[in-house]
Structure 1
Amino acid sequence: MKTACKLGILVIADEVYDHYAFGDKPFVSMAKFAEIVPIVLLGAISKRWFVPGWRLGWMVTLDPHSIMKDSGTLNNVLSMSTDAATFIQGAIPDIIGNTKEEFFSSKLEMVRECAEICYEEIMKIPCITCPCKPEGSMFTMVKLNLSLLEDISDDLDFCCKLAKEESVIILPGRAVGLKDWLRITFAVELDLLIDGFSRLSNFAQRHSKKQP
């Protein structure tokens, strides 16, 4: 915040996962720092309401000292629209207005439980390493140890062969700028998650280098 203030720039905070913090550290919104520097918060319906294909989001500005307003910073984005599908626009009032709190709490508990299982299952597979236990979001990044595998050249090769042999889809890390890493999604029904890890484990064993 001090750096942004010193440089005279605003902060854009992607808080799509603001309600998916389930570790020991509570989520802290960047909105708390709006008195220091202008904040633009980004949100979306896809994650908290569990509708990932519904690409409808919003932008909230916090500018108590009218810095952005006076500079004209927002003029180019105030009318920005990606033309969300009509049925999505029509459903939004009911979805936001009528979803019960129990829905959110049950989904958060489901994701927390799946994250626990995900971490435990990852620990059983020697060729992948999870640097830290997931405490939020719906994904975790794991490091791929290619030295323990044979006939696997990189993360993309790993994911392509996994999909072909086991019908399990994992995102290669290079898609998010991390070569030889993998992004594993754990926000699925528990039985499907366990089955997916069983297939991943079988794949890893099959492609493991044989001990001399």
Structure 2
Amino acid sequence: MVIINPGNPCGSVFTYEHLSKIANTAKKLGIFVIADEVYGHLTFGNTPFVPMGAFGQIVPVLTLGSISKRWMVPGWRLGWMVICDSNGVLKETKIVESIESFLNISTDPATFIQGAIPSIIENTKDDFFNKIVDLLRKTSSICYDKIKEIDCITCPHKPDGSMFVMVKINLGYLEDIADCIDFSCKLAKEESVITMPGRALGLENWLRITFAIDPASLEIGLDRMKSFCERHAKVM
């Protein structure tokens, strides 16, 4: 069972109770849990982040982490895996051995990234991470509030983590927009604002918006999106 917590693209953060149910369900089914927690340090809502490894006594957990998200260095594809398995199931079934064997034959990250890691980990101060979380807390609120001003777009849930949010397009409000891809293409051409069509993520007529940007630029971009929607609105 694979879970992504905090979630991309919705910015959701699972509660302790929800994660406990996941662990017990996986135990009942006789499977282990792969927990993608690359956004684990980027939470800013009311729900605190709980690592899935806390349930390692119930079910084996393989946790994935990444330097590119916490340190905000997109493209630095270097991460880690942590096994939380109090009962030794993954070791007994040689899953750990298989993972280690695969790592020995896989392509390594770029050497300059490997060389930078010790210094980055040792010398990054807590205020660096605090500033990132404070910024995302502020911009997530801006994004959520500004989207509420756009009639044809709905944000069903204010993000509690990560740096993205999914919003729903109501095509019934728009005159000449066929789908989410058409919306994104025309928005980029007319307003120089880039969004990801939901179809790329399996959600037809949704958009993924990132709020990992300085507040002023985010407000400008969302104002442009509002102008775009008003310009393409159906005449009622």
Range class of TM-score, shorter chain: over 0.9
Q: Deviations over 1:146-195 (max 9, x none)?
A: 00001100001100111111111100001111000111100101111111
Q: State, as a whole percentage, how many aligned pairs show the same letter.
A: 57
CA distance in 2, matches of 1:109, 1:174: 31
Gaps spanning 5+ residues in structure 2: where?
1-22
Alignment of 1:67-146 (within 5 A): 67-78=89-100, 79-80=102-103, 81-146=106-171
CA distance in 2, matches of 1:116, 1:90: 37
Which one of the candidate residues 41, 51, 55 is aligned to 2:73? 51
Q: Return the letter of the residue paired with 1:125.
A: I
TM-aligned CA deviation for residue 74 of structure 1: 2.3
Q: Check 1:176–1:82 CA distance in 2 against 1; reply closer, same or farther (3 A cut).
A: farther
TM-aligned CA deviation for residue 18 of structure 1: 0.6
CA distance in 2, matches of 1:129, 1:140: 11
Segments of 4+ moved more than 3 angstroms: none
Name the residue aligned to 1:8.
30
Alignment of 1:167-206 (within 5 A): 167-206=192-231
Q: Deviations over 1:42-88 (max 9, x none)?
A: 00011111111211111111122211111111222214234211111
Q: CA RMSD in A?
A: 1.1
CA distance in 2, matches of 1:197, 1:88: 35
TM-aligned CA deviation for residue 207 of structure 1: 0.8
Q: Return the letter of the residue paired with 2:177.
A: I
Name the residue aligned to 1:152.
177
CA distance in 2, matches of 1:204, 1:87: 44
TM-score, with length taken from structure 1:
0.96
